[in-house]
Amino acid sequence: MKEHVKRSKKRDRMKNHPCFSEEAHDKFGRIHLPVAPACNIRCGYCDRRFDCVNESRPGVSSVLLDPDEAVARVGELVERNERLTVVGVAGPGDPLANEETFRTFRQLNRIYPDLLLCVSTNGLNLPDRLEDLVRAGVRGLTVTINAVFPETALKICSWINYRGKVYEGLEAAEILCANQWRGLLNAIDAGMTVKVNTVLVPGINEADIPYIAWSAGRKGADVMNIMPLIPQADFAHIEKPSPGALHAVRLECGKYLKQMSHCRQCRADACGTLNEDGDMEYELLASRMGEEYCETLN
């Protein structure tokens, strides 16, 4: 009975979440708050520049905000757009490596208890900080898992910074993989709605991805989002997977875990529905300009 209630709550939560529900992606919107600049791992596909205003990809933000600024912007935006139902922190670094993330969520949970709070993380600090997330009111979790085997993870992530110590090579990969899977299971047990993100890196992790889907599905994850590599940084020489290759992997993994196919690989300051390629600062400026323009007509 308890498990049934938990599943029911999670379904209700997913209904209005544009990332977890394909039916909601063009009806409800989200705000990504760029309050987390620091990162604790080094991935080969990640470009750590965060001020690329003309790009739309993870890790990109036109501004960095402190928690007070972020909460104030949420207030302005949700007041003008009732379709904004979800607020998340997805970077531009890793949210769980930044105390600002937790300060932001605590304030939002107190002031806007009806908003769904979400976080996206690489999972390294997830076992250590899960309880803090739950206490701050976070109910939606996305964890990026690119490998089952540390030998594969090693080819994608070269070092980690865990509990103040830097690890490299296979040791780093082993710690990262262990923490990701332990954190995933802990989050599911805590009643969170959980999405697994996986970056398809041709020639590196194709063989691992079905195992990720199988393992995450058995543990009770809700959905999986397999994203094509964006060739950049250390992986600039690797060709982006074709739509056909991406579809084939999703089809295989769909046997084990529900697949998300409407991801837009959003910016760390994205705002609006998924089919709107807007960032938070643009949306805020547009709404202010519209309001001021209306005032000139009166």
pTM: 0.84
Average pLDDT per consecutive 10 residues, the chain (298 residues; last block may be shorter): 53 58 57 93 82 56 88 86 82 95 97 94 98 97 97 97 97 98 98 96 97 98 94 94 95 96 67 56 50 43
Q: Among all chains, which residue has been given the structure tokens 């309001």?
A: 291
Which H/E stretch holds residue 52? none
- Specify the pLDDT at position 20: 62
Local structure of residue 205 (DSSP, 8 states): S
Q: Among all chains, which residue has been given the structure tokens 């080819």?
A: 155
Q: Among all chains, which residue has been given the structure tokens 């999972």?
A: 123
- Specify the pLDDT at position 91: 83
Q: Taking the C-alpha atoms of 41, 45, 46 and 49 in order, what is their torsion angle to the nearest 10 degrees? A: 150
What SS3 class is residue 198?
strand
- Specify the pLDDT at position 168: 97
Q: What is the CA radius of gyration of the chain?
A: 19
Which H/E stretch holds residue 118? strand 116-121
102 Cβ neighbours under 8 A, 6+ residues apart: 129, 132, 133, 136
Beta bridge partners of 32: 88
State the Cα–Cα distance between residues 153 and 146, nearest whole angstrom. Answer: 7
Token pair for 43: 């991935």
- Specify the pLDDT at position 240: 94
Which CATH number, 3.10.580.10, 3.40.630.30, 1.10.357.10, 3.20.20.70, labels domain 2-291? Answer: 3.20.20.70
Every domain of the chain and the residues it spans: 2-291
Question: Cα(first)–Cα(last) distance of the chain, in Å?
Answer: 58
